[in-house]
Structure 1
């Protein structure tokens, strides 16, 4: 998921959550007997959310139903766009490898991920490696997570990864670049009891 989509997703969820909490809390407060302000939509404990007058006020106006239907259609389209953006396949299934003769070959994304994981895991002090490929098949991007032993310097591990596994993967696939986001984390080992 791109950073922009993550940001939009978080903002929309936060705004929706705040609106629901404020409205629900206010209705609950009025229902429990607190006096609402004069501008609030509820005026007391026995008040209904929408009375007959509010529900039927615009029914006879010619613009009312087309406006309601258009607004609901826009909300539905936005909700569908949001759902497809969140559920869209994020992993890259294949990478286009340049063969040098103007042709290309397709390499499975999982195969390239496995090679990157295997080579990164053989580096000194790397406990475990995990790679996900993103982007387009002719311009892949990698997201790597390395679990490092406590004694390993993160800068050294990153330099070894860049000069080793990432360079080999980029060169072997004939890619001009392989942008990579690397997340480093230290492995935690349980203390063992000595008798």
Structure 2
């Protein structure tokens, strides 16, 4: 990857353990600009990874456990390059069946509030009009509302892109985000309400039919 691209190269390693120093050294030697440490549980393992990194590249963390959520304020005090809430692994750690519940129950907003000096990310996107069971449009609106500064592509993105031109579809996706950032407060509130309804499994209210 380093030989193929000039841009930011981010490498996800495994969760912290005795193997971490070797993985960090390997990633740095191969040209990583930033390392992502997943499944964080304690502040100490982040501090130890920062010691291993020793300023050779950036270190971001994935908040994917309840332990990390509970320690978000302390974690955000570290010199991290980014903080990302991983919804699927957090769901597993909580023994939950609801992927998007942290965006409804205040979890994501609490971590976002603690993250004041690092780029904050959560969730993932696919093309406008895609996404199931929560539409990409409603999820995108929620990410914008919470001040998300970066995200990843959802697993469905590859299937949704089948037969499509990325030079057309990616700008369309970015354009939809720019449009959401300019939404009026009433539209933001409406999108939030519809998102919560979708997560809760309640049918979305249909718009009133125009007068004949």
TM-score if structure 2 supplies the norm length? 0.26
Q: Which has the higher strand share?
A: 1
TM-score if structure 1 supplies the norm length? 0.28
